[in-house]
Chain A
C-alpha cells in the first residue's frame, strides 16, 4: 500500500501539473490526410520498439524484429532454465538485469532521435544486445551461474520462526531440481 501510494502521488503530479509532458504538439493539430508531419514519433512507451524497427535496414525484417522483441517474452520460461527464480540469489543475473534495463532506456532515447548518423549505429548495437540478452545470455547464465543458497523457508523470516506457528515445508524442497 505504501508503494502504491507513492506511485499515485507521482502520477497525480504528472496528471495535474504536467499533462502534456509525454505528448506531442502535433496531437493538437487537426488531422489532415494531405499533410503528414516531417517526423513521426510514437508515444514514449513504444519508443524502444520503434528504435528496433528503425535499426533494421530491411522493411519486413524490421517489422519482424519489432514484434519479436515482444514475442521473445512469451518463450522466457524455456529460455531461462535456472533452478532459482529470484534474481536476489543470482549474482551475475542481477547485474545483467540492470545492464538490460540500461539498454532499454538507451533504445527509448534512440527511438526519439532522428534516424541518422551515430544514432543508427547505436540503435543497432542496442537492438543486438536486446536480443542477445534473451536468446544467448539467459540460457547461458542458467547453465553457468552458481546461485547463492536459498533460505530454508520464506515463512520463517516472515512468521518469526520458533514462536509457536509451525513453519510450512521448506521452499527449497518445492523448487524444481
Chain B
C-alpha cells in the first residue's frame, strides 16, 4: 500500500507541475526577456530605499508627464524614506481641484499629503489626444499587470534599439525589442543623464530603468515587505505546530502502526 507521505509528495508534485504551467502558458507568446536580480525578489526580499527614491525621481520628472499613478497618495511616500516635511514639500508642488466651497464653486489649492497623486490628463480622451491616439496606461499596478513583472518592464524600458534590417515600424510608432509586436507608441522615455540624481548616482539609461522599475514594483505592492515579514512568522509557527502534531499523532497511533 502507498504510504501517506508518498501520497502527499505525489499530490504536491501534481500541484507543482500543473499550476506554473497553467500560469506561464500565456507569457510563452511574448518575446523572451532576460531576468534580473531584484532586491525585492524571494521570500526575504526587501526594497532598496535609495533605489526607490531615485526611481521616484525618475517617475516624477519623466513618466509623470504622461502616466498617472492613481492608487498612490503623497503620504504613501513615507515608505520610500521621505519624512513628513519632505512629503509636504513634494505635495505642495502640485495643484489639485477641491470643493465645492460655501458658494458651490470648485477651486484649486496646493496638494496636501492625503491627496492622491494627480493625474497628468483630466480623462482618457485628453490623454489620447495628446499622445497620437495611444492611451498611456496607469502605472500603479503595472508590475503585476504585465506578464514577467519587473523583468519585463526593465527589458522594455531599456529595449529601445535601432530598427533592425527588414523590420517595418508604422508612423508615430517606435521600435522596441521586447514589446509584443515590436511596435510601441511610447518613444524611449529615458535618456542618459535625463535626470540628475540627488544622491550623486550616475543617471545612465539602464540605471534609471532599474530604479524606476523598482519604484513601480513598490507602487504595485507598497506593503510587500510587511506581507513577507508576516509570512516568515506564520511559516515558522506552522512548522513548529506541524512537528508537535506529528509526534502526538505518532504517540496516539503507536499501538496500531
B238 touching A2, Cβ below 8 Å: no
B145 to chain A: closest residue by CB: A28
Known interface pairs A16-B228, A112-B25; A25-B145 also in contact (CB < 8 Å): yes
Query: Which residue, B4, B18, B232, B246, has most C-beta atoms of chain A within 10 A?
Result: B18
B231 touching A2, Cβ below 8 Å: no
Which of chain B's residues have a CB closer than 8 A to the CB of A16?
A: 43, 227-228, 230-232, 234-235
Let me know if A39 is at the binding interface, CB within 8 A.
yes
Return B110 CB to nearest CB of chain A, in Å.
29
* Interface residue count on the B side (C-beta < 8 Å): 41
Distance between Cα atoms of A22 and B21 in the complex (Å): 10
Known interface pairs A2-B249, A6-B242, A12-B231; A101-B26 also in contact (CB < 8 Å): no
A106 to chain B: closest residue by CB: B18
B249 touching A1, Cβ below 8 Å: yes
Pick the contact of B12: A8, A10, A39, A108 (CB < 8 A): A10
Return A111 CB to nearest CB of chain B, in Å.
7
A29 touching B1, Cβ below 8 Å: no
Distance between Cα atoms of A108 and B14 in the complex (Å): 11
Return B27 CB to nearest CB of chain A, in Å.
8
Return A135 CB to nearest CB of chain B, in Å.
24
B-contacting residues, A117-156, CB 8 Å: none
Let me know if B129 is at the binding interface, CB within 8 A.
no
Distance between Cα atoms of A2 and B249 in the complex (Å): 7
Pick the contact of B228: A17, A26, A39 (CB < 8 A): A17
Return A87 CB to nearest CB of chain B, in Å.
10
Distance between Cα atoms of A3 and B246 in the complex (Å): 9
A5 touching B241, Cβ below 8 Å: yes
A-contacting residues, B223-239, CB 8 Å: 227-228, 230-232, 234-235, 238-239
B232 to chain A: closest residue by CB: A16
Pick the contact of B14: A26, A28, A88, A105 (CB < 8 A): A105
B256 touching A160, Cβ below 8 Å: yes
B249 to chain A: closest residue by CB: A2
Which of chain B's residues have a CB closer than 8 A to the CB of A9?
A: 235, 238-239, 242
Known interface pairs A15-B231, A108-B18; A2-B245 also in contact (CB < 8 Å): yes
B43 touching A17, Cβ below 8 Å: yes
Query: Which residue, A2, A19, A41, has most C-beta atoms of chain B within 10 A?
Result: A2
Let me know if B8 is at the binding interface, CB within 8 A.
yes
Return A81 CB to nearest CB of chain B, in Å.
24
Let me know if A85 is at the binding interface, CB within 8 A.
no
Let me know if B146 is at the binding interface, CB within 8 A.
yes
Let me know if B199 is at the binding interface, CB within 8 A.
no
Let me know if A157 is at the binding interface, CB within 8 A.
yes
Return A149 CB to nearest CB of chain B, in Å.
15
- Contacts A5-B242, A28-B141 known; 6 new A-B pairs at CB < 8 A: A1-B249, A13-B235, A16-B231, A24-B23, A109-B21, A112-B25
Could you list some 17 contacts between A and B, CB below 8 A? A2-B245, A8-B238, A9-B235, A9-B242, A12-B238, A16-B43, A16-B228, A20-B144, A22-B23, A24-B23, A25-B145, A25-B147, A25-B149, A30-B138, A105-B17, A109-B18, A158-B256
